[in-house]
Amino acid sequence: MYNSMTIKLMEPLHLDMGDIHYVDEIMGSYSPSSHLTEDLFNNKMAFYIALNFPSYSLKEKTENAENWTRRDWAYARMGDMFISRVPADLQQNAAVISTNADTYIADYNIYMGKLVNDNMETLFPEDLVLITHWGLRDELKSNYNAENGFEKQQMIYNVMLDIINQDIPQEVINSGDYIWNPVSNKVYDNGQEMSFTTEPFTRYEHLLHNFKALSAMDKYNPVYPTYIDRAYYESMEISKEDIEALFIEFITSPEIAEIAKLIKTRLGRDLQPYDIWYDGFKARTNINEEDLNKITRRKYPNPQAFENDIPRMLVDLGWSRAKAQEIANKISVDPARGAGHAWGSEMKGDNAHLRTRIPAEGMDYKGYNIATHELGHNVEQTLTLYDIDYYMLKGVPNTAFTEAIAFLFQANDLKLLGQSNNGNSEEAEALAALDNCWSAYEIMGVSLLDMYVWEWMYAHPDADPKELQEAVVNIAIEVWNEYYYPVFGIKDSPILAIYSHMITSPLYLANYPVGHLIEFQIEQYVKDRQFADEVTRMLLQGQIIPQEWMKGAVGREISGEPTLKAVDHALEIITE
């Protein structure tokens, strides 16, 4: 019920419903569930649950995993419910801070048609408006084979640097009133250069607010006394040390440097920092994106059209018509204000929500690609709520797993458009391995940055937004120089700091690269099996600990080894 209330309260912030008003922000920042834990302690229910359902550490869960029954796991999840007693006012404050950060990012758009180069030439369509960072990144990725693609990418890269450094003019954020050259960082009004005000470290102010709100809860969490502990040991149920070691081992593997050499050969130029988003290993690379845009705009002129097509998409992935319709009936598609997201139901009878951004001319391919990702989230959310044996086991071990399922759906986007690559299947598999590896490499560095920034904030709790901005940039450069400069040959880029997740979703980023590794392991396992049956079987293991889930799903724990092994083979097939 609280989840349903929150969804409704945040609709004006999340959906394309016109201008956001002050009352929308106030209502959206209200957390209906903030008093629930305190109320349950006050009426003694929490004490009864804590006494009858003991909590287990991650080490204890791991040791007991082979012997526990499904009921034992459900009991253990009951024991996880009341290991802290955070005052309601702190939870409510954190909800307000989180909503404010989310609103800031959701309404942070760049009017690309107002960008000019040194010759005062525009490179992008007049009506192109992109949200940071997702829209900017995806536009950059789409320009590898486009006319003036290199210059466009350089321009987008400079926009990103201005955002990271907070050199961006306040006047061009979410506004098309002025002309802006992001390379020289000059603003023009009616052809005349004008003075401007740079953004006043607002980006880092939101990050700092999140830190203060979440760290204020530390003293009420005896089991996990820092937010860093809660993010890794409690939420992910994989230790920070294991995550860090997994990422560093992967991004320093010799396969990464070999992929970089291949990309350099394919591009015919030296690598640039933004080539962390190189998009040339996907099957759609040989398909004109404008042709794909025509297809998606025709098929999906509005959210309802996408919603109506979900049953057909699920049938194409292997679900029976009856089951596909049953799942689809529990998913609502809404017009997103931001890049889009999925929001699951917590209660049977409510629908999961797929939020997607659809322009007036219809859904473009980039939006469709994101929407198929969100559909994967919704299918997981629906199956693990309605078909699970114990409610306390609904869901998956952590968000890396729901990201992995979403990646699996996203990888099938062309198939669902009837545009599957009919070429060499061995070559297609090789390209998929290279793409997965390069994507994991990119986001692992961002995740390490996120981790190190939070460690810095804990070491400097009294820092101001300017000091935090300097620290984030310095740490981003340090991570780049350690793990990316040896591959790219360019030093001191802070590009890893552009991710909006750092601002809106504290310590969430690690779920993406872990999700990429999980996705690849699952994809390899199901490629000769029935997709829908295997995915359903895996999902209905529910919310047990991550490594036990993986062993049940594919027979081994989470590892980067399968990806790297596949890359070795792929590099023998893809040589240029």
Helix, strand, coil % (nearest 5) of the chain? 60, 5, 30
> What is the predicted pLDDT for the residue at 16?
72
pLDDT one-digit tens code per residue, 373-428? 999 999 999 999 999 999 999 999 998 999 899 989 998 999 999 886 545 588 88
Taking all residues of the chain, what is their mean pLDDT, rounded to a whole number? 92
Q: What is the pLDDT of residue 349?
A: 87
Cβ count within 10 A of residue 561: 13
Rounded CA separation 382/160 (Å): 36
Helices 134-141 and 149-165: crossing angle in degrees, nearest 10, is: 160
What's the CA gap between 336 and 12, in Å, rounded? 10
**By C-alpha distance, which of 378, 380, 355, 365 is closest to 413?**
365
With CA atoms as reference, report the closest residue to 552 among 68, 56, 60: 68
Q: How many CA atoms lie within 13 A of 343 on its CB side?
A: 19
DSSP secondary structure letters along 444-504: HHHHHHHHHHHHHHHH-TT--HHHHHHHHHHHHHHHHHHHTHHHHS-----GGGG-THHHH
Radius of gyration of the chain measured on its C-alpha atoms: 23
Q: Where are the domains of the chain?
A: 20-104+203-222, 105-199, 288-418
Report residues of the chain scoring pLDDT below 70. Answer: 1-2, 13, 15, 17, 30, 34, 283-286, 338-339, 420-424
**Angstrom distance (rounded) from CA 454 to CA 230:** 12
Per-residue pLDDT reduced to its tens digit, 31-65: 777 678 888 888 999 999 999 999 999 999 999 99
